[in-house]
């Protein structure tokens, strides 16, 4: 059986995690701090904080910005539920908009959705292709004219426009106009979940890129405190002899990264550009070559107007398939012992959002792309022979189901 996306765990990963275990320091400590510095250097941004997931990291951002009941956050209808669930957690309203043919949020739809209550826009880099974040930043700037900050939020008063929080869960290492993702939005969130390009088993990080007069180093400290119950001294700081006294400044959350996770991440990052990404690109290129000349298929874009993707997913589309035909094709592929997936079931089709009144009919391009989409396996240890096996299984299944 060809799995969909197993993590790459080898002796190097095991040795580094073992070293962390033997060091006696297993929670947030020197390895996490080292990982953060390496992430910042890699993305060429000043400040990065590592936390326990994209979800909790991004939710801290919404809470820090003072988003709550009565506020709106613009998200694409086509994304994983985490993007909108965090908006629900803070009591605000996810305002869903349609996507373009490359799966990323439609800037024109974002512009139409802006109201005085729009506090944040969350573009998503689906499959690893960056959304048009520079254009979303321009839209957020224009929204300054109608922005109605909550008087209780200093951050909103100071920024004076909606915050742009990039969902870069798929796009670590991708670039926009030659610069790594992380440098474009106000704040960019990465996920290091087990299936992502770079993993720490579970984990996430925020690249902090707030404009002046915000102080990103001070913001780092604040998010660090938010992630540890609002406690003003972390476990490492308390290990100094006599340094036992601490205070809790507010009722914070608990979502720090551990040194065991960081140990995995450090190994992953060291070989990301030299091993992981070249292999992922080679796999995607091989799929593209096999499907591009066949008119039954649409291959995904890995480059679009200065945006270069991270080869996270190979989002193949069967040009003329209905949703039912696509489902039948996946069932036939499974018979050939190949695991594929669909990224993603649009949020308006999920019970939680259907019950809140969202309707997929309002997002025609989201439905059109979803209904014919099949994601193929992409992972470091997938061999060329296995790629060819996947291609054969897909072509056979499509031949059986589409005349
Ligand atoms: C994986 C994913 C997330 C959530 O990441 P976690 O680290 O698991 O919280 C958010 N957005 C998208 C698009 C994702 O695929």
Q: What pLDDT score was predicted for residue 354? A: 98
Q: For 370-377, what is the mean pLDDT?
A: 98
Question: CB of 54 closer than 6 A to ligand 1?
Answer: yes
Which residue CA neighbors atom 1 of ligand 1 most closely?
A: 169
Question: CB of 167 closer than 6 A to ligand 1?
Answer: yes
pTM, two decimal places: 0.98
Q: What pLDDT score was predicted for residue 14? A: 98
Segments making up each domain of the chain, as ranges: 11-269, 272-401
Q: For 285-305, what is the mean pLDDT?
A: 96
Can you tell me which atom of ligand 1 is nearest the CA of 191?
A: 7
Q: For 129-135, what is the mean pLDDT?
A: 98
Task: Give percent of the chain above pLDDT 70.
Answer: 100
Which residue CA neighbors atom 8 of ligand 1 most closely?
A: 193
* Cβ-defined contacts of 281-284 (< 8 Å, 24+): 281/311, 283/311, 283/314, 283/378, 283/382, 283/387, 284/311, 284/314, 284/378
Q: What digits encode the pLDDT tens for the residues 141-182?
A: 999 999 999 999 999 999 999 999 999 999 999 999 999 999
- Angle at alpha carbon of residue 388, lines to 386 and 391, rounded to 5°: 115
Question: CB of 55 closer than 6 A to ligand 1?
Answer: yes
Task: Tell me whether the omega of the peptide bond preceding residue 374 falls within 30 degrees of 0, making it cis.
Answer: no
Q: What digits encode the pLDDT tens for the residues 225-269?
A: 999 999 988 877 878 888 889 999 999 999 999 999 999 999 999
Q: Which of 5, 55, 197, 366 is the best mutation target for the ligand 1 pocket, counting ligand atoms within 8 Å of the beta carbon and taking the most?
A: 55
Question: CB of 80 closer than 6 A to ligand 1?
Answer: yes
Cβ atoms of 284 and 302 closer than 8 Å: yes
Question: CB of 379 closer than 6 A to ligand 1?
Answer: no
Cβ atoms of 313 and 128 closer than 8 Å: yes
Q: Is the model's pLDDT at 82 over the cut of 90?
A: yes
Cα 124 to averaged position of ligand 1 atoms, centre (Å): 10
Q: Is the model's pLDDT at 128 over the cut of 90?
A: yes
Q: Is the model's pLDDT at 93 over the cut of 90?
A: yes
Q: For 68-77, what is the mean pLDDT?
A: 98
The CATH number that domain 272-401 falls under is 3.90.1150.10
Q: What pLDDT score was predicted for residue 132? A: 98
Residues in the chain: 403
The domain defined by 11-269 folds into 3.40.640
Cβ atoms of 130 and 105 closer than 8 Å: no
Question: CB of 124 closer than 6 A to ligand 1?
Answer: yes
Q: What pLDDT score was predicted for residue 236? A: 79
């Amino acid at each position: 059986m060809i799995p969909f996306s197993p993590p790459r765990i080898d002796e190097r990963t095991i040795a580094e995690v073992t070293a962390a275990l033997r060091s006696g320091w297993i929670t947030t400590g020197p390895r996490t701090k080292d990982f953060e510095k390496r992430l910042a250097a890699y993305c060429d941004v000043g400040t990065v904080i590592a936390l326990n997931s994209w979800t909790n990291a991004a939710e801290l951002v919404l809470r820090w910005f003072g988003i709550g009941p009565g506020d709106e956050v613009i998200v694409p209808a086509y994304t994983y539920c985490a993007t909108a669930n965090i908006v629900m957690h803070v009591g605000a309203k996810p305002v869903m908009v349609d996507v373009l043919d490359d799966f990323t949020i439609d800037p024109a739809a974002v512009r139409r959705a802006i109201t005085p209550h729009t506090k944040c826009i969350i573009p998503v880099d689906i499959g690893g292709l960056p959304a048009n974040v520079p254009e979303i930043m321009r839209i957020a700037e224009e929204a300054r004219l109608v922005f109605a900050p909550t008087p209780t939020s200093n951050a909103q008063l100071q920024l004076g426009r909606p915050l742009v929080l990039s969902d870069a869960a798929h796009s670590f290492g991708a670039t926009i106009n030659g610069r790594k993702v992380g440098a474009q939005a106000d704040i960019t969130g990465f996920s290091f979940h087990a299936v992502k390009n770079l993993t720490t088993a579970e984990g996430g990080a925020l690249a902090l890129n707030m404009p002046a007069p915000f102080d990103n180093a001070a913001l780092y400290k604040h998010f660090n405190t938010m992630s540890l119950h609002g406690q003003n001294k972390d476990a490492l700081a308390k290990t100094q002899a006599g340094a036992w006294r601490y205070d809790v400044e507010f009722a914070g959350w608990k979502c720090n990264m551990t040194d065991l996770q960081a140990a995995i991440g450090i190994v992953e990052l060291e070989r990301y550009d030299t091993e992981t990404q070249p292999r992922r690109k080679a796999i995607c290129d091989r799929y593209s070559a096999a499907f591009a000349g066949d008119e039954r298929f649409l291959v995904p874009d890995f480059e679009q107007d200065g945006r270069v993707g991270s080869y996270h997913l190979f989002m193949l589309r069967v040009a003329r398939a209905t949703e039912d035909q696509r489902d039948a094709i996946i069932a036939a592929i499974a018979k050939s012992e190949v695991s594929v997936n669909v990224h993603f079931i649009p949020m308006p089709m999920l019970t939680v959002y259907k019950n809140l009144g969202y309707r997929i009919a309002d997002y025609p391009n989201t439905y059109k792309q979803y209904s014919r989409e099949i994601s193929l396996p992409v992972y470091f240890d997938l061999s060329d022979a296995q790629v060819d096996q996947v291609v054969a299984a897909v072509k056979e299944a499509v031949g059986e189901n589409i005349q």
